[in-house]
Amino acid sequence: MSWETVRLDWDEDVATLTVDRPDALNALNVATLEAMGEAITEAADEDARALVVTGAGDDAFIAGADIAYMQDLSTTEGQEWGELGHDVADALEAFPAPTIAAVNGYAFGGGCEMAIACDLRVAAESAVIGNTEIDLGIIPGWGATQRLPELVGDETARRMIFLGERLDAESAAQAGLFGEVVSDEDLEDAVSELASRIAEKPAVAMRAAKQALNQRSEGSQTSGLAYEQRAFASLFGTPDQREGMSAFVEGREPEFE
């Protein structure tokens, strides 16, 4: 299949999913999320032994979600939007082979959530990551409230979500978000080498290892993700959400109630 804003490329048994909206800093809209879901399914159906997720261009992995689209959503529409993002993040988490986020620039909001839904993360030195939704009058809605504390611990996760903190690559690596930081020029080669090493391992055992690792918090995380979806949707239509997103789109500081 082919899509306008997503590419799926192959290097032997390694698939690379590239969000290809560089003019929009690879921000996620409905069409792009739907294409990502289809590309992930195709990679699984074709028995990819590793899946790399990255963004086109030099400036952004995924700078976030399409805020101009989100700003006028109703609660019901916010629920549908949250479910769509969750579906893609969940598909990355449940992908039968290991997934690697190659973080090449900004990874904010939904971009951070897609990165932390992957099994491994390799970052360029220029990468900056954070859950910045609080400044838009909402909360993370695609899994960060449940996945982020698993990676960085409760205190750091709360600071990132409560304050919308953005971490540079080295700080994020120290916090546990990135397993490796390399120069911008070396990112593609470093990720390619890591993916190739994974693809050489026995596929059945690798699938079993991933499933076993994912089992450790599945019960509580399932209920937590469901709660997050409801809370995320409930914020659409509130004055703070309308003000936060309008201010972002208009390029000004928000004035919350």
Q: List residues with catalytic annotation.
A: 113, 133
Residue length of the chain? 257
Residues 6+ apart with CB under 8 A from 118: 53, 92, 93, 99, 100, 101
Whole-number Å distance between alpha carbons of 163 and 152: 15
Whole-number Å distance between alpha carbons of 85 and 79: 10
Tokens of 64: 């976030």
Closest CA to 87 of 139, 143, 42: 143
Whole-number Å distance between alpha carbons of 216 and 248: 38
Dihedral of CA atoms 30, 40, 174, 191 in degrees, nearest 10, equals -120
Q: What is the three-class DSSP state of 106?
A: strand
Whole-number Å distance between alpha carbons of 93 and 211: 10
Please report, for residues 17, 106, 126, 171, the alpha-carbon distance to residue 123 in angstroms, rounded to integers and kept in the order given.
16, 10, 8, 11
Sequence-ordered strand ranges (E) for 92-156: 99-103, 106-108, 120-124, 128-130
